[in-house]
Amino acid sequence: MDNVLRLDSGFAFDFSNLFGPGRVTQEDVASVAAKLAAAHSAVERMRATGVVEGHLSKDGAPELVLFTQLPYVQEGNLNTPSSVRRLLSFGEGLRHHTDAVVSFGIGGSFLGNKVLFDVQCGEFWNSKDTQARNGWPKCYFSGNNIDPRRTSELLAQLLAEAKSKAASGSYAEPYRVLLIVISKSGATLDTMSTFMVMLDALQAQAPQIEVAVAVVTGPPVAGEPTLLGRLAEERNWPVFAVPDGVGGRFSVFSEVGLLLGACVGFDIEAFLAGARSMDEACRTPEVRRNPALWNAALKYLAAQRCGCRTEIFMPYGDYLKSTAEWYVQLLAESLGKRLDRTGREVHYGRTPVVAVGTTDMHAQTQLHQDGPRDKVVQFVQVDRWAEDPLIPDLFPAVPKLTEISGLPMSRALDAALASNATALAADGRLTATFHLPEMNAFHLGELLYILALSIAYEGELAGVDAFDQPGVEAYKKILGPLLQEQRRVRTGC
């Protein structure tokens, strides 16, 4: 049987160097057949009802898991035709009107949004003029760390842009900034502290700077809005939803991620269509035809049978680095668990590591090739690039440089990936490759969704709750009183 699972969209999962003799074997898969069947049934139940066995919220109450609903835009779902129209209308209203958007969020509220921005806009977006951006605003990110220097420098950047706009003769038009603040509770320390610093400083620059705020927060609890929701009500800020039943690391398919996408012209409908297409491909119980279940099975077995408890997530493309960073949180928070569902101490988890090809072929590959045999290297390859410059023969007298001339850059990139994979496989190292036909919204939706659904399946295989995160509560219990004590010392009250 071919060791590449191909979808009609062109998306493919090449597991040739992860499955077979000396790797995860058919016998390994057969030995967990009952677990695989049970995992598929559990995920089907989750899809149909939102129920995950034993899953509780951090408050100890039963909680539904609803992220698999998000790709399906229909009445009664978390994403509806009217909610998508509202997002598109809101984003369109910023074009040729708002100069800059600043998105405040941490965890999934930052990482997922950064993925959409990087694929849509790229590194040099904010250096382009309005025409080159097709009227869409500049975009900045904050709230993902309580960093005084960067917060101050971002503020200085916005003030400098406002001054430049005034100097250009457009002083009659204020510099317009939209602050998007994302917090389910409304009390997220990192997000709210940077947001308050920025809002206060920008409001002080009126009328030269005009500040608007949009809020993304959780639904009311017992009829009471969240802290952030109450602020929005009092100040008439538009409110978007952090839906119940969707953890932050899965929230990129909800308004948490889609709002930022709509603000920079990202095709949110194609993105959801890609996620939907992947979900539909993963409905089959036939393990080797179900991309997410098969991916989860191979990674789980590679850890259990081959000792590969580290996953190097290595896209070959600079603008997919944030995808690797998003995946690190997804895997680490979902699967790093002290207890299984029976209460047995298992300390389950696989350690995810960010890498980028070809960058980390010069930084990490020495370890991948010669270090401990405890890794799976997961490559991501883009098969067709929208722009693909030809490497010129500028120095014909230099044979080493002439050898690479005449090649499109993508061919050189693909050759680098192939050489890395081949060298690793020759030494019995485990690798796999996701193929994206193109880097666009649809195929990005496919990629992020297969990763999210794979985590759900692996949680079932390992017998752990992939949707809670009790470990983070330990530091939060220490942090709150510590901050209160520091405030008391500083203010005397």
Buried/exposed 117-129: b ≥16 CB within 10 Å, e otherwise: bbbbbeeebeeee
- Is the Cβ–Cβ distance between 29 and 287 less than 8 Å? yes
Q: Which residues are catalytic?
A: 333, 362, 476
Q: Is the dihedral of CA 248, 250, 252, 255 positive or negative?
A: negative
